Structure 1
Amino acid sequence: MFFDNRITELAEQAEERAQSRFREIDKLIDHNQWKVIRAFQKHKVSDYHFAGSTGYGYNDRGREVLDLVYADVFGAEAALVRPHFASGTHTISTALFGVLRPGDKLLYITGTPYDTLHKVIGKPGDGKGSLADFGIGYGEVALTSDGSPDWDAIRIALQDGDVKVVGIQRSRGYDWRRSFTVEQIGQMVRFVKEINPNLVVFVDNCYGEFTEELEPPQVGVDLIAGSLIKNPGGGIASTGGYIAGRRELVELAAYRHTAPGIGGEVGAMLGATHSMYQGLFLAPHMVGQAVKGAVLAAALFEGLGFETSPAWNEVRTDLIQAIRFTSAEHLVTFVQGIQRAAAVDAHVVPEPWDMPGYEHPVIMAAGTFIQGGSLELSADAPIREPYIAYMQGGLTYAHAKFGVLTALQNMINHHLL
């Protein structure tokens, strides 16, 4: 595909403006890459750890060491890393069901969580096996108008003695708000623990891994969960998720994942171990490439007069680049342009559809080698006002750049720019 001269000139200008940010991202890549390598070295990872296992998977040393490596990388006491997690939502659900009991309450202090978690939370007596169906209460504290935690409202909500788990969503989800940095998460942890040190603080870490030097357990978070087809899988792991944090909480999650008394001691890895190790090794670099692509997208669209979040020169704590459009047509055309830039399924034209787990029709550009792999170049959006596209990923900066330019060209071709 050939791009209009106007687009290539804008891209060159945006890249020139972003050079200082790119240098900062390169330093971050070095830090996180070295951190991962040191964890591999500490646990003496060898090629025999890559062997598969079958049946019960007893004494699978590769699986055991992978858990140890993840725990070190994320600054946690323990970790559970398995290909059997079907998605980030499945992994988060496992963690929450692991630590909550009937009569307990889950309180989210970062507003309404991501759409796919709504069915996990559920409604009393819904018969779906949700948290509510098991008699587990739920509450949430809305963010302030500027997207900050509402400290006074949180303090009041925590007076409810049933609250056992405080939930934090690191990433913006489908909201026009800033994602929370690890430093901000640490502030939330300190605030909550001052009120009740026995509360369990849980963080949905999806999209955030390796975008900063620190991870949430390093600032006091008790438990985190994420998906391997996002950041930590490095674009290599074909499925799976991870849970990390305090040892006793990870053990409870492992009992939910398999069965009480069995936990993480079993589970055949089915040949996935090699890709999970290699994906983790590659993850810091791949995440850095995606973050650079997001910076470029922000710089380009800001130059064209669109509102973006974060701005190209703002601090980033996840992969997601939000771009606000003025109509559903703009939104759909942008997402379809991202699809046209894919190496896989570029000929497919995405259309909005009623995707399971979402409350509005969603359009998704996902020409990926791993289905749903959002560390790869992708974009999605609910078709609702305000019309915001959420772009993420790009295993190489060159592909992310190609995607942004193709989306712009598609909008020009449809006379929308």
Structure 2
Amino acid sequence: MNISTLIQEAESILSPIFFDIDQRVKQNLKKTLNSFHYYHLGTHHFSSVTGYGHNDSGREVLDKVVAKILGAESAIVRIQFVSGTHAIASALFGVLRPGDEMVSVTGKPYDTLEEVIGLRGNHQGSLKDFHIKYRQLELTNKGTIDWNNLKMAINLSTKLVFIQRSCGYSWRPSLSISDIKKIVQIVKKQNPHVICFVDNCYGEFAEELEPTEVGIDLMAGSLIKNLGGTIVNSGGYVAGNKKLVEMAACRLTSPGIGSMGGATLNQNRLLFQGLFLAPQMVGESIKGSHLLAYIFDKLGYEVNPLPMSTRRDTIQAIKLGSVEKLITFCRTMQSYSPVGSYLDPIPSQMSGYEDQLIMAGGTFIDGSTSELSADGPLREPYIVFCQGGTHWTHISLILEKIIKEIELCS
């Protein structure tokens, strides 16, 4: 079949799914607007302060707005968070103490968290260095939660349960909100004092509810992913139980300062505007993931999630099967990016990752994978992970060129 014809077929068949996605965007936008209205957001909240960041009314309202949107008691939204990993690390170091035990119930965590925990690297101040114990419950052979053994994984000495919502660089289903709710119910029944924590990167606004609305005590994520609407320059957030959020804030700043510090450096308008755009940007990204999955599935590649499956985050994985195809995919996507189209991505080592990576990300904000990106570690079976896309039509334009280039690798 002609590639152009196949793409047109995909767009037609997926139109009912695109309509459903638009309805979810509408609900999440309504939730966002209601929060803006509730806290009387005005242009005076766009002004900023310098230095310590004391009495920044815009930042204070932003924290409240985000907490309300996420159904959380409290939230801190700070440009001082370098990344989602930094926000997650601040939360973990903030609430865990020497002798505490952390249990990951979603198997091995995302690559950049391995050194945070102390699973590899030279342990420069890892959780392991602070005598925080770690265990993990392996996933089943199908990549799902081991529900049968989840109860036995939690005991009275467990302080925190770690849940990674997204698949990360693994070939498994990302967790749905109903999955997360079920984990919380099982864990709390075994030990009601356990802190249930979610790495929420790539998951915000993918569904109509967030983890903190179904019993999660604490979660964290990045602002240059979903919640920043593709226009926020930097930062991350932590949301959940008020006491736990403040403990995380004290790790970001210092005890005694906590959430009261952090100059916003004239970023408040972008932070609010990005939040307003976020539901729409996530919706476009999810449409693009359906389109990618449909086309590559038709071409005989394994895809995760499947073309017609309900999305739980913004990541689409495609098992390409060779290093040549992985590199070609990323290079071609880079050539169709709005920024740096002339650049040629090459595999390289990156801080926090064990394997070499190749990354395509011709984005306006460096590292803002939610704008449109494709990347993957150079390890078998050579999976490319696609995130983002501010317009699903942009992905449609790229697809024909990518497929032609990949076919030349065969």
Q: Quote how far apart the aligned CAs of 1:402 are.
A: 2.1
Q: Which runs of 5+ in 1 are unaligned?
A: none
Deviations 1:139-190 (A, max 9, x none): 111011122211343322213x432010000000111100000111000000
Q: Quote how far apart the aligned CAs of 1:409 are.
A: 2.9
Q: Quote how far apart the aligned CAs of 1:50 are.
A: 0.6
The answer on whether the counterparts of 1:337 and 1:408 sit within 8 Å (CA) in structure 2 is no
> Aligned equivalents of 2:288 and 2:298: distance in 1?
15
Q: 1:67 to 1:9 in 2, by over 3 A?
A: same
Q: Select the residue among 158, 166, 173 that pairs with 1:178.
A: 173
> Aligned equivalents of 1:127 and 1:92: distance in 2?
17
Partner of 2:49 in structure 1?
A: 53
Partner of 1:94 in structure 2?
A: 90
How is 1:98-177 mapped onto 2 (pairs within 5 angstroms)?
98-122=94-118, 126=122, 128-159=124-155, 161-177=156-172
Deviations 1:73-129 (A, max 9, x none): 000000000000000110100000010001101110000000000000016995501
Secondary structure at the aligned position of 1:390 is classed as strand
Secondary structure at the aligned position of 1:148 is classed as coil
Partner of 2:290 in structure 1?
A: 295
Deviations 1:291-318 (A, max 9, x none): 1011100111111111111111101110
How is 1:281-360 mapped onto 2 (pairs within 5 angstroms)?
281-360=276-355
Partner of 1:195 in structure 2?
A: 190
Partner of 1:249 in structure 2?
A: 244
Q: Does 1:9 align with 2:43?
A: no
> Aligned equivalents of 1:277 and 1:170: distance in 2?
25
Deviations 1:233-264 (A, max 9, x none): 00110100000001110011111111111111
Deviations 1:171-212 (A, max 9, x none): 001111000001110000000000001000000000000110
The answer on whether the counterparts of 1:393 and 1:400 sit within 8 Å (CA) in structure 2 is no
Partner of 2:360 in structure 1?
A: 365
Partner of 1:391 in structure 2?
A: 386
Partner of 2:253 in structure 1?
A: 258
- Superposition misfits of 4+ residues, deviation over 4 angstroms: 123-127
The answer on whether the counterparts of 2:74 and 2:241 sit within 8 Å (CA) in structure 1 is yes
The answer on whether the counterparts of 2:361 and 2:374 sit within 8 Å (CA) in structure 1 is yes
Secondary structure at the aligned position of 2:134 is classed as strand
The answer on whether the counterparts of 2:337 and 2:363 sit within 8 Å (CA) in structure 1 is yes
The answer on whether the counterparts of 1:340 and 1:406 sit within 8 Å (CA) in structure 2 is no
Q: Which amino acid aligns with 1:106?
A: M
- Two-structure CA RMSD over aligned residues (Å): 1.4
Q: Select the residue among 232, 235, 248 that pairs with 1:240.
A: 235
Secondary structure at the aligned position of 1:375 is classed as helix
Q: Quote how far apart the aligned CAs of 1:16 are.
A: 1.2
> Aligned equivalents of 1:400 and 1:371: distance in 2?
19
Q: Select the residue among 70, 74, 85 that pairs with 2:70.
A: 74
The answer on whether the counterparts of 2:289 and 2:315 sit within 8 Å (CA) in structure 1 is yes
> Aligned equivalents of 1:392 and 1:409: distance in 2?
21
> Aligned equivalents of 1:67 and 1:404: distance in 2?
39
Q: Select the residue among 27, 30, 39 that pairs with 1:31.
A: 27
| Count of residue pairs the alignment pairs up | 410
Q: Quote how far apart the aligned CAs of 1:331 are.
A: 1.5
% identical equivalent positions: 48
What TM-score, normalized by structure 2, do the two folds share?
0.98
Q: Which amino acid aligns with 2:117?
A: I
> Aligned equivalents of 1:84 and 1:410: distance in 2?
40
What TM-score, normalized by structure 1, do the two folds share?
0.96
The answer on whether the counterparts of 1:91 and 1:226 sit within 8 Å (CA) in structure 2 is yes
Secondary structure at the aligned position of 2:244 is classed as helix
Partner of 2:376 in structure 1?
A: 381
